[in-house]
Chains A and B, each alone.
Chain A
């Protein structure tokens, strides 16, 4: 069947098997292997993308269900050579090691800050609790999301954001 999905602002149309998972659809789009998968049971969150702005586990959605919807992946975070504050925050606070969970964590964090620009540590922990990181013990991820929240607030007040990675 033909499916047409807007991925990172671009229309992607492909003839797919009806059973194809969104995560596989995305990963088969040239250049978009940033979205990972890590389990068979919707537990790990390595596959989180934004669907119309809300975080979803792309291993748990059929590509066919996304016809006409807008998907955002990790590759869309950097704009015009400027990193998203969550990306910068992860670098600043050493919130990644192997990097495998990172795209899912970044998208989850992006969705959280879009909804709640000033989350508490507890709110951050709850927001990322659908995702597993086997490497970092989460402490620095929480700290990175705080970093992003603070710098985003500062940027809104005109201080701008550094671009250093």
Chain B
């Protein structure tokens, strides 16, 4: 049960939905009673384990599974040959490419799936992996994206007809070249930077896994799997496995974090399904941490060159060229029409004269992915780039970085604002939000402190970033994934007692949907949030929709819940009119109750109306009875949250170690349904941003060996690397969302890395002449930059 004593209900007789309601889902988690994938045990269940390639690029000459099959506890070993007979050797990716489920001809990245063992227990399955003999002929590997298109580069995807190079997707452009050339010709200042957003990984604390349970007698396939988009997965499985979609049921119970990593379908899932179909018993497969880091959806890996120009003291133009490293298979997760995702939001929060963006993608011998890591479709890369460029320009112009931003912001009167790359920003008052951040930080005081410290030889840096995101994909006319519109359903049933169940297609991985979505119904119907059960994570018990990623839960699914609640409220009005013997238009609404205008004593509570709706008494003419409704919500536009972040760092002059001493985050995500949960989302994203800026990196040696394949080398911030975050807010409602809300989950991850890197450079520029440093700002890399030898991360 949620506790509500902290809700602002003091004077209100009826409960108010919005506010700092403590979470309903906590009750099971604090008792250790959550149900995560690996907690589920089905009768007769067997266990899978995956054999993976030790090479980044090699031909497979032979695979000998006989010794593994002889292991007393092994039930089966599946290789590409077996999958070929089932038609399952290759599967489609989210980007209309194909990916080998198990490698047959070649392995194309280290960690690629080669054979799947099924045994009675996990220990035996892993033992048997050692008994499989694979004969490889190693091939030269392509590791560096900049060299992937060299004429002598080995062709990675020789499986694709007509593929003669490593181009994964052709040049894609946004903005306008000519007017951008003009802006640069007229400019008085131009800066150029090569900037890498290195490969990193969402690494949720719970790794990926599945249980597939195929019933040969009925043809029903039950899947248990923590994924972020259960309905879309079901459709994909129907296509991949040729099973009837209505005979597939996916249950996502509790999910131990996702952050984009749990969006795709992975080869291990397909193998478990194939295994269960063949063996007729449930097959569980759970990856270990190394498998998670080396083979499942990575994030970023954008190699960027950019120029930015200014005229008369304000930013006027931007040019960007990107090489996107997609790894061995293009499984980047983007809406179909957007091969570079929403990267072209790169003009940021500024009123530019012109901009031009070019992106091309290459194959390399690295793991596939390019999923978000708490990022709405490449916006993180875009924001990082533009916010680094603004700082570079400010440095060149010798103006304060905040001053340059304030001069160049889109003004409040310009909204809705059409950007030079085609986005329509909904609402904003950027300067006001920047000011709140400056006040919270004590910006001028910090600058004074920095000068004093500098005089004493101490290295302190202050870094700023100001981001605008476009989240809540998306409008059906522009956005789909694999032909599925990016809409979400909601189904609300109010029972005769006035208690309600709302079913949604969004999929929580910790975002607190069971609480927030109950609050939306509570707010709209005026019933207590405790009386609203939120149902999700089961394709048999929830309406179709595309799930949770890209900060889309509140913008799309939240809107669906608001709209469906209003539909129910309208239905209640009709019934109330009959009950009160008046016309619906003569009724007025207050929280939880329709009453007669001019006679407020005369009214009907929602629970009375619900009782009536199911009763044998008179209902409005033509009414079917019951109090429920269903919607599919098609958002008219994205929502555009924004924020001003300020990082204060200290750099140890003797070691190059960076400590984030303070972090000030002022977010404007429109109306906040549950400010406690919003704050929590921001804290979590800031910690991830600190990780990306300072520690997290997936790097490779020249042979394509992953150098960060466990938490020993892929470093995740602990409580000691994170400061006591200082949050602030402004509220500029979204004009087109029914609740005025915007998405927020990803903002902190998007906005924090540039603030931290800008702070590091701010600490080192004057004394050490550092103009740029690529992430992660580890002591070794910062030290090298201080010595005048900055190194790219790969």
- A binding-site residues for B, Cβ under 8 Å: 17, 19-20, 27, 32-41, 43-44, 46, 73-75, 77-78, 83, 87-88, 90-92, 94, 96-103, 106, 121, 124-126, 128-142, 164-165
Contacts and interface: CB of A to CB of B under 8 A. Distances in A.
B254 interface: yes
6 residue pairs, one from A and one from B, having the closest CB atoms: A34-B32, A98-B510, A100-B256, A99-B29, A137-B683, A97-B510
A134 B257 contact: yes
B677 interface: yes
A58 to B, nearest CB: 13
Contacts of A134: 203-205, 257, 259, 684, 687-688, 716
Contacts of A126: 719-720
Contact of B30 (A32, A38, A165): A165
A94 B289 contact: no
B11 interface: no
B130 interface: no
B205 A165 contact: no
B136 interface: no
A149 B584 CA distance: 55
Contact of A90 (B1, B26, B203, B720): B26
A5 B510 CA distance: 33
A129 B26 CA distance: 22
A132 to B, nearest CB: 5
A40 B289 contact: yes
Contact of B712 (A41, A75, A97, A164): A41
Given A128-B719, A137-B687, A35 B32 contact: yes
Contact of A38 (B205, B254, B720): B205
Contacts of A90: 26, 30
Given A73-B32, A98-B257, A132-B205, 14 more contacts: A20-B123, A34-B31, A40-B290, A44-B205, A92-B22, A94-B676, A94-B680, A97-B512, A102-B29, A129-B718, A132-B711, A134-B688, A137-B682, A142-B719
Contacts of A88: 30
Contacts of A83: 30
A99 B288 contact: no
Contacts of B26: 90-91, 96, 99, 165
Contacts of B85: none
Interface stretch (B33-41, B521-529, B602-610): B33-41
Contacts, number: 181
B386 interface: no
A6 to B, nearest CB: 18
Contact of B206 (A19, A100, A136, A138): A100
A40 B294 CA distance: 13
B711 A98 contact: no
B482 interface: no
Interface in B674-696: 676-677, 679-688
Contact of B687 (A40, A74, A96, A138): A138
Contacts of B206: 36, 38, 98, 100
B3 A165 contact: yes
B23 A74 contact: no
A7 to B, nearest CB: 13
Contact of A135 (B31, B36, B679, B684): B684
Nearest to A76: B32
Interface of B: 1, 3, 22-23, 25-36, 38-39, 123, 203-207, 254-257, 259, 288-290, 509-512, 676-677, 679-688, 710-712, 716, 718-720, 722, 724-725
A99 B25 contact: yes
A129 B710 contact: no
Contact of A140 (B204, B255, B289, B680): B680
Contacts of A43: 710-712, 716
B722 A139 contact: yes
Given A40-B288, A121-B724, A165-B27, A97 B680 contact: yes
Contacts of A133: 205, 687
Contacts of A135: 205, 257, 510, 680, 684
Contact of B718 (A96, A124, A131): A131
Contacts of A92: 22
Contact of B32 (A74, A91, A140): A74
Pick from B257, B688, B716 the residue with the most CB of A within 10 Å: B257
B29 A19 contact: no
Pick from A75, A103, A135, A164 the residue with the most CB of B within 10 Å: A135
A83 B22 CA distance: 16
B66 to A, nearest CB: 25
28 contacts: A19-B123, A27-B38, A32-B32, A33-B38, A34-B34, A36-B38, A39-B289, A40-B710, A43-B712, A88-B30, A91-B30, A99-B28, A99-B34, A100-B34, A102-B29, A126-B720, A129-B719, A131-B718, A132-B716, A132-B718, A133-B205, A134-B259, A136-B684, A137-B682, A137-B684, A137-B687, A137-B722, A138-B718
B207 A75 contact: no
Given A121-B724, A137-B687, A46 B31 contact: no
Contacts of B712: 41, 43
A37 B154 CA distance: 40
Nearest to A83: B30
Given A36-B36, A94-B676, A87 B30 contact: yes
A23 to B, nearest CB: 11
Nearest to B509: A98
Nearest to B254: A99
A78 to B, nearest CB: 6
Contacts of B711: 39, 41, 43-44, 132
Contacts of B257: 97-98, 100, 134-135
A149 B154 CA distance: 61
A99 B226 CA distance: 14
